[in-house]
Amino acid sequence: MTARVGIVVRTRRRPDFLRRALADIAAQSYSDRGVVVVNDGGDPAEVESVVAEAGGTADVLHIPPGEGGRCIAANAGVRAAATELVVLHDDDDRWHPDFLARTVEWLDTHSGDAAVSVSTEIVYEEEREGRWVEVGRAPFWAGMQRISLGEMLSVNRAVPISVLYRAAVHEEAGWYDESLEAVEDWDFYLRVLARAGFGFVAGEPLAYWTQRPDATGIAANSMFALADAHARDDALVRDRALEQWTRREGDGLPLYLAAQQQQLIAHLEELSTRQSERLRAEIRDDLRREIDAHQPLWSRLRRLRRRVGRG
């Protein structure tokens, strides 16, 4: 590929989403780009047909069923593109028309940054009459102004559709970890941040992360369909890093922090218990006051019942 920017589109048996993604890429104002469609276990003829409909300018890489996965598809696509700059554009996500122009400009003017992310908007979709339609939007990390290692250690603050990076960073930071089923982007960003700058274009959203919380099957988002894998691989990435730390520095600091964490948890549980007891006491007092306020009525009812009984 002779283009400067390589766009890797991961897709799997979702021709309508792939069609939309290719149209989204075609609408970019930045033209020095090339596309690699990585068909991760889908029907080759179907993917080739969609690419042909879009003009046939994208390269297509087919991974046989059972031999791929999110990380394998990403690595294969980046290697096939062999461009200076690269971005993962999953088939269901979208961009502002100036996404590439703005992010390429950032990397051209910030030589110390290996990657750059942008303000991102979550786009919610629902299936209606056989079509996925937009039903709402929400900011992803509203007000965010930077990408920092400290914040990224807590939780991922970028998604693939929002990040353009220099492909050369793979030589130092490594590739997407193919042992992971999920969180491969977060794991990669952590390694990038430990070695280089990670820019951020604030302001209007330039990337749109599409979510379908109610979708099942092939149309589902990985963050929902692979929720268990996300939790497992999140813990795996953290445990690996902790193991590396303790092997190098010993387990003194982690042991201390673990004890502090347990004390904090116990303190919060105690506060929660006290709050619950106080709330129950307030409810009992309110009920007593309510009964006392209506005591004359209860007394009259009891007298009336006794009179009726004697009659």
Distance (Å, rounded) from C-alpha 209 to C-alpha 134? 12
Is 172 in the same domain as 31? Answer: yes
Q: Find the domain containing 14 and state its range.
A: 5-248
228 and 302, same domain (yes or no): no
Supply the DSSP symbol for 238. Answer: H
Query: 107 pLDDT exceeds 90?
Result: yes
pLDDT band at 136 (very low <50, low <70, confident <90, very high): very high
CATH number at residue 71: 3.90.550.10
58-91 confidence digits (pLDDT tens): 999 999 999 999 999 999 999 999 999 999 999 9
Question: Is residue 75 a contact partner of residue 61, using CB atoms and an 8 Å limit?
Answer: no
In a shared domain, residues 10 and 159:
yes
pTM across the whole model:
0.83
93 and 221, same domain (yes or no): yes
Residue 227 has pLDDT above 90, yes or no: no
Rounding to the nearest 10 degrees, give the CA dihedral for residues 129, 133, 138, 139: 150
Per-residue pLDDT at 235 exceeds 60? yes
One domain, residues 114 and 173: yes
Q: How many domains does the chain have?
A: 2
Shared domain for 213 and 257, answered yes or no, is no
Assess whether 141 and 184 both reside in one domain: yes
